[in-house]
Chains A and B, each alone.
Chain A
Amino acid sequence: MTEATTTVRETAGNDVVFDGITKSFGSTQVLQSIDLHISSGELVTVLGPSGCGKTTALRILAGFEKPTSGRVLVNGQDITSVPANRRGIGMVFQAYSLFPNLSVQENVEYGLRVRRVNRDKRAARAQELLEMCGLTEFASRYPHQLSGGQQQRVALARALAIQPGVLLLDEPLSALDAIVRSQIREEIRRLQQQLGITTMFVTHDQEEALSIADRVAVLKDGVIEQLDEPRTIYQKPSTEFVARFVGSVTEVGVDPQYRGGALPVQHPDAGLDTLFVRPEDITLVPDEDGPCTVISQIYTGERTVVRATNPVNDLDVTSSVSASEASDLTPGTRVTPQVMSTPALRVAAHGQSPAERVIV
């Protein structure tokens, strides 16, 4: 890449700290003491259902909202009271944020223009970013002449043009269709890694959050439920909420003595431990006396998702199997579900000591 990219590297990679951030709107507490450290050059996705406070957290970092208490540090400096337009933080909005009266090139140059960068430098920098984002041919178009995906690329180029130390993305892909979404997701990740820019990415889409992040912060009701690498979030969720919200899961109640093998298919209840089991951790063994009946197969390409139900209590068990295994599991087959490896989460029966996660 060219010189300008090198300058980006020098300024990029600021680390970000949320230090005991709380935020209330009137009597509603949106964020309850958020502590989050995003290392330099790291991409953290903030994942949660709508209304969990994720956008508020991002807007506090951007400077659009003031925290009720707590501090925000960038590169060790307290920026809590620095106005948003002096923070040098790049931001990509959900949609429709491009200035409609300016061409693509002028949009990308906007931040430099505000900074009184001279015309030639501005144009060169804009060209370079348009190239990086694959937009060169659209430079003289206007936003309403672009597709949603192209508009978001321009928005990204515009945010990066000011060589921000931190990049914020507020559900930037939610208005796009699935194919474009995954394309742009990959592009964002590629640019982010290439520039080494510290990034906070807010989304409610768990697949998006897992696929793009170095670490994922799962937020619920203004509290970070878990902050971990995507793999850990999925395989070792630390709370029931995370287990349910990220990926699919079968919840069954088992005796506290249960240590693996044939799964008693019963609903979670008092006195029982609750297991949260991922589809790939369950096998369905064909068994004429088995407690469950296969009710459906969903072919997804690499894997087939097989659902079996216990007709006595209507509890469904979901298993993900290979195509060859699936051929033995046609709908109507009696099966015994077995837990083959460590379940994602085991919650001890109420009043008992914490359950061991490990079985088998």
Chain B
Amino acid sequence: MSVPVTPTPGSAPGAPPGAAAPGGGAPGVSPGARPRLVSRARWEGVTTALRSPAVIALAPLTLIIAVFFLVPIFGMFTIAFAVQTDDGGTGIGLDNFLDLSSHSRAMRNSVLVSVVGSLIAAIAGAITAFCIAQIKSERLDSVVAVFSSVLANDGGAPLAFSFIVTLGNTGIIFGLLGLEAIGFTLYSWQGLVAMYQYFLIPTMIMVTLPTFVGLRKEWIEANISLGGSRLTFWWRVGIPIATPALLGGWILLFGSAFATYASAAVLIGSGGFPLIPLSIDSLLGSGLGAGGQSTAMALGVTMVVIAVVVLFFFNRLQRRSARWLQ
């Protein structure tokens, strides 16, 4: 599983900032004031739409979601919470999660790589997005949006191989820069962090560029006419407005790095440096039987929980930012 790294509604490339914010559109209506999650008003449009015959068009999507998403998730949760009872039957319990303590190293590693990797990428990406926004070219903005959304979804084995041939122990750049002298090796947590930048930085650009582009000329000029300087503007208005998007972006990067599997697997393998996704893989492949599988599913559930939490906060922050930038 992985955190979906696709343009979110609030940051759709090319869309005017905030235009796609949930509940937005109607001028004067605060998008923050939408109906409660559990209420008829909130789902009114959905139920009407579902009654239309056009709902048949949803069948292929529904099928795919069911087969590749709902069934596996259901299976994962079932196995993760299933425990052997004393009388030999099956019950519900948290036993499988107790086994997770033996994977604390993988947890620590995953958190370390994700925090450091996402922090570096968040800073680099935000600065890049800021600089791009200063050029004030709509064409450049949309080109950047397209490229960064492509790069943000670039990963997996090909990415690992391209890093191995450039920065691996016999890599071209590795040799040219003499990285061996400073003790750098790609096959370490630092290596992972470096490799993750390749898709994390574009993700950050994709998420924060609309915010920087959405800072209105009127705000900058109002600040000046009120006697403020450039610094005053950024200190009192620009950065506060950008903060939700920056924080949200960082959280998203964390989730994205945390869930990365394929490229890490190719680079590190399942040996020296355990990460949660790699541990799941090795548990499933180790032939430990039901015990290993149950622990793997418990780890999987843990990751799903982390992903949900990440997306929840990302969505919250993104919405706040979109509301300001309407």
Contacts and interface: CB of A to CB of B under 8 A. Distances in A.
Interface of A: 62-64, 84-91, 93-102, 110-111, 113-115, 144-145, 147-148, 155, 158-159, 162
A84 B227 CA distance: 8
Interface of B: 27-28, 30, 32, 216, 218-219, 221-229, 232, 236-237, 240-241, 323-326
Nearest to A89: B225
Given A144-B323, A144-B324, A147-B28, A91 B216 contact: no
6 contacts: A97-B216, A97-B221, A110-B223, A110-B228, A110-B236, A114-B223
Contacts of A145: 30
A301 B225 CA distance: 43
Contacts of A102: 236-237
Given A99-B237, A114-B232, A86 B218 contact: no
Contact of B240 (A101, A110, A162): A101
Given A100-B241, A144-B30, A162 B219 contact: no
Given A85-B229, A99-B222, A100-B325, 17 more contacts: A62-B225, A63-B225, A86-B227, A88-B227, A90-B225, A91-B222, A95-B218, A97-B221, A97-B222, A99-B236, A110-B226, A110-B228, A113-B236, A114-B223, A114-B227, A144-B30, A145-B30
B218 A97 contact: yes
A281 B240 CA distance: 59
Contact of A159 (B27, B223, B225): B225
**Most interface-central of B28, B218, B219, B325 (chain A CB within 10 A):** B218
A85 B324 contact: no
Contacts of A85: 223-229
B222 A101 contact: no
B222 A114 contact: no
B218 A93 contact: yes
A145 to B, nearest CB: 6
Contacts of A63: 224-225
A114 B224 CA distance: 10
A93 B218 CA distance: 7
B226 A158 contact: yes
B218 A96 contact: yes
Contacts of B27: 148
Most central of A90, A95, A97, A162 by chain B CB within 10 Å: A97
A98 B325 CA distance: 11
B324 A101 contact: yes
Nearest to B225: A91
